[in-house]
Structure 1
Amino acid sequence: MDIATDAALLVIDVQQGFDDAGFWGRRDNPDAEGNIGALLAAWRRTGRPVVVVQHVSAPGRPLAADAPGHALKPVVAGVEPALLVRKTVNSAFYGTPDLHAWLGAAGVRQLVLCGIQTNMCVETTARMAGNLGYDVVLPVDATHTFDLAGPDGTVVRAEDLARATATNLHGGGFARVVATADVLAAAERPAA
C-alpha cells in the first residue's frame, strides 16, 4: 500500500460526547483513540494535511454546540488542522467549509479516514468519498461504534456493525479497509 505524500487524514467526530455510555450504550474497540493518535502523530511527522471534522447535534444531545460533549477528545484537541469542518449530518462532505472544494483546491486525491462512529459518519463519508473518485483508505481499527437496535428491536453488537461496515466498504469498492499498523508503515516510507 502506498500513502501519498499529500494524503489527507480525516479525523471524524472524535468528540467527548461519545464517552457518554448512558446515552450511546456499549462501544467496541477500546484501542480506537490510541490508533487515531498514532495516525495523527505520523501525519504531523510527515507534514501531511489533517482535516478535523466536528459534528454539531441538535440542542439537548451530547454533541450539541453548547454541550460539554461537543469538545474534541484530548487525542485531537491539540491538533492544528489544515481544515476544520463542522457538520450537522453524517457526511463530512455536507459540512462547512466545503470539504470537496478544499480537497480539490489542494489537489488531494487520497483520503485516510478515522473516527467515530464506524457505521455512521465514517461509513457515510467513505461512501461519498469513493463516489466522488477519491482513493479512500480506512484503518478500521482507528474507529469505533456502539451496539444498535434494529427496527425489530434486535440489538446488533458494535463489533458486528463494524465488521459489516468493513465488508460493505471493501466489497463495494468504496475504500481499502486495512489496519492502522499498515497505514503507519506505508506513511513512514520515503516517497518513491
Structure 2
Amino acid sequence: MEIAENAALVVVDVQKGFEELDFWGVRNNPGADDNIAALIDVWQGSGRPVVFVRHDSVNPGSPLRRGYEGNGFKEYVEERRGKGAGAELLLTKTVNSAFLGTPDLGSWLTDRGIAQIVVAGIQTNMCAETTARMGGNLGYDVLFAFDATYTFGLEGPFGWRRSAEELAQASAVSLHGGGFARVVTTKEIVDAAGG
C-alpha cells in the first residue's frame, strides 16, 4: 500500500457528544481514539494535510448540536489542531457526508492536487462510511482506517437490531467489497506513511 505525500487525513466528527452513552448506547472498538490520535500525529509529523470535520446537528436534542458542549472536538483532537506542518481545514456539516459540508471539501482537495484520502472517525456506519462512499464515487483513492472508527448498536425496520460490531463489520464489507474504499488498519496506514 502506498500513501501519497499529499494524502489528506479526514477526521470525521470526533466530538465530545459521542461520550454521552445514555444517548447513543453501547459502542464498539475502545481503541479507536488512540488510533485516531496516532493517525493525526503521523499526518502532522509528515506535513500531510488534515481535515477536521465537525457535525453541527440541527436536532435540538442531539449531543452534537451547535452551542452545546458536546459539539466540540474531543480533547485529544482539539489539542492537536493547528499543530501540523501541512495544510489544515476545519469543515462543518449538518448531514452525513463531509463532501456536503462547508467549506467545500472537493474543491479544497482539488485545489491542492489531492487524489487520496484516509477516512477515520465517528460513526463507522454513518458519517465515516458516507464520506468514504462519496469519496469513492467522486474518484478519490479512499483508505478507510477501520480500527480508527467506532459506532453504536442500532435498531432498524422489522424490529431488527444489530450490535455496534455487527454494523461496523457490515460497513467494512460494503465499502471494501463494493469497491468504494480499501478497508485497512491503522498500523498498515502508519507503516506505509512512514510513521
TM-score grouping bracket, smaller chain normalisation:
over 0.9
CA-CA distance at 1:153 after TM superposition: 2.2
Matched, 1:128 2:134: yes
The residue number in structure 2 matching 1:108 is 114
Tell me the residue number matched to 1:118: 124
Report deviation, 1:158: 0.5
Which residue pairs with 2:30 in the alignment?
Answer: 30
Q: TM-score, normalised by structure 2?
A: 0.95
Q: CA RMSD, aligned part only? A: 1.0
In 1, the alpha carbon distance for the partners of 2:182 and 2:160 equals 30
How far is 1:60 from its partner?
Answer: 2.7
Counterpart of 1:115 in 2: which secondary structure?
A: strand
- The runs of 5 or more residues in structure 1 that have no matched partner are none
Shift of 1:169: 0.3
Question: Structure 2 matches for 1:136-151, cutoff 5 A?
Answer: 136-151=142-157
**1:49 is matched by which residue type in structure 2?**
P
> In structure 1, which of residues 145, 154, 179 is the aligned counterpart of residue 160 of structure 2?
154
Amino acid corresponding to residue 168 of structure 2 in structure 1: A
Alpha-carbon distance in 2 for matches of 1:15, 1:129: 22
The Cα offsets for residues 161-191 of structure 1, whole Å up to 9 and x where unpaired, read as 00000000001110000110000000017xx
Number of residues paired by the alignment?
Answer: 189
In the TM superposition, residue 154 of structure 1 has moved relative to its aligned partner by 2.6
The aligned residue for residue 57 of structure 1 is 57
**8 Å CA contact 1:147, 1:156 repeated in 2:** yes
Aligned equivalents of 1:57, 1:163: Cα separation in 2: 26
Is structure 2 residue 167 aligned with structure 1 residue 167?
Answer: no
Output the amino acid matched with 1:63. Answer: L
Match of 1:74 in 2: 75
CA distance in 1, matches of 2:3, 2:62: 37
Q: Distance in 2 between matches of 1:2 and 1:74?
A: 30
Moved more, 72-81 or 60-69: 72-81
Q: Which amino acid aligns with 2:111?
A: A
8 A contact 1:36–1:75 mirrored in 2: no
Q: CA deviation at 1:61?
A: 1.3
CA–CA separation in structure 2 for the residues paired with 1:50 and 1:70: 19
Structure 1 runs of 4+ with >4 Å offset: none
Aligned-residue sequence identity (percent) comes to 56
CA displacement 1:64-97 (0-9 Å, x = unmatched): 0111100100121021261111000000011000
Task: Return the TM-score normalized by structure 1.
Answer: 0.96
